[in-house]
Amino acid sequence: MAVGSILDVIGGTPSVWLDRMVRARGLEGRILAKLDYLNPGFSKKDRAAKGIIEEAEASGALRPGQTVVELTSGNMGTGLAIVCGIRGYPFVAVMSRGNSVERARMMAALGAEVVLVDQVAGSVPGEVSGADLAEVDRVARQVAADRDAFRADQFERSGNAAAHFATTGPELWADSDESLTAFADFAGSGGTFAGTIRALRARDPGIRGYLVEPQGAAVLSGAAAQAPGHPIQGGGYAMPDLSLLQGVQADGFLQVSGEQARQATRALAREEGIFAGFSAGANVAAALDLLAGPQRGGVVGVVICDSGLKYLSTDLWG
């Protein structure tokens, strides 16, 4: 089937049962993994990028030919580079140098202007802290003001969660043959969790939703950030108030260490042939913990957020 542009193939990604991993650990139940690393930009953020731009066009918030600016860990920037390139908007991505270099190179290759922001004093390369993100946000705001640009603002724009409500949730439900009992997601902007769990609960109010956070930085659960530094790029910024999660009830909170995420990502590659990134590993590690605990015998849905190709320069594969 031929389509008119690359935007027409965003979403509709396949899902795979991780039965090998579950059996190898002697667990009861199933994990369904939606392979969003097969989106054109190799991540789930393609959905949100398309949703945000379409919403802004419909509302008139985005003018024809206007520059778009957004902070990113790399995935949203890649999605926006693709969407903006097709729709005719110049795009400026603002990213911390703490993120992997592959992401910046990919965004530039897709036509984005990439502004790299130095990490704050005390930050660890490869570990983007909440303070680092705040500095990136400051720079993004300044760039947007200087260029009279539209700020895509993935942490605030409802088009982010709306895209997952319209696509990710219904797809997971259908792909599971309407058997899901839970959904778990590593929180970045909160858009994937908010949109997906709302869509799933509209189909079965009994579905449980679990927010996944880094060990030591589980502020969404109400805990203090004891160790905000971690290697799981793309989320876990120790931000206790995520706008997109307002009014969305989580049934539980799970903590995953950087090492757990790393080992689960490597196991995904070896045991299931899925070459994913850090946050996908966090999701799968959390799902395995659920099958060992409150979801024993259940069916847990997760998203494979991005590709392992974006982490070749990190210790994920070292």
Burial class (CB in 10 A: 0-12, 13-18, 19+), 209: buried
Average pLDDT over residues 296-314: 95
Digit-coded pLDDT (tens) for 266-292: 999 999 999 999 999 999 999 999 999
Please tell me whether residues 303 and 208 are part of one structural domain: yes
Per-residue pLDDT at 168 exceeds 90: yes
Please tell me whether residues 23 and 72 are part of one structural domain: no
Please tell me whether residues 199 and 307 are part of one structural domain: yes
Catalytically annotated residue among 96, 279, 307, 310: 279
Residue where a domain stops, chosen among 151, 172, 204: 151
For the record, the structure tokens of 118 come out as 């130095």
Residue 12: inside a domain, yes or no? yes
- Which CATH number belongs to the domain containing residue 263 in this structure? 3.40.50.1100
Instruction: Supply the Cα-derived Rg of the chain in whole angstroms.
Output: 18
| Domain total in the chain | 2
- H or E, element range at 310: none
Residue 198: inside a domain, yes or no? yes
pTM assigned to the model: 0.94
Please tell me whether residues 39 and 177 are part of one structural domain: yes
Per-residue pLDDT at 318 exceeds 80: no
Average pLDDT over residues 105-132: 91
Q: Is 279 considered catalytic here?
A: yes
Task: Write down the H helix ranges in the chain.
Answer: 19-24, 45-59, 75-87, 101-109, 130-146, 158-163, 169-175, 191-203, 258-267, 278-292
Q: Which domain holds residue 234?
A: 6-43+159-311
Portion of the chain with pLDDT greater than 70, in percent: 100
Per-residue pLDDT at 248 exceeds 90: yes
Digit-coded pLDDT (tens) for 53-69: 999 999 999 999 999 99
| Mean pLDDT across the chain | 95
Catalytically annotated residue among 45, 96, 100, 176: 45
Residue where a domain stops, chosen among 151, 173, 205: 151
Q: Is 189 considered catalytic here?
A: no
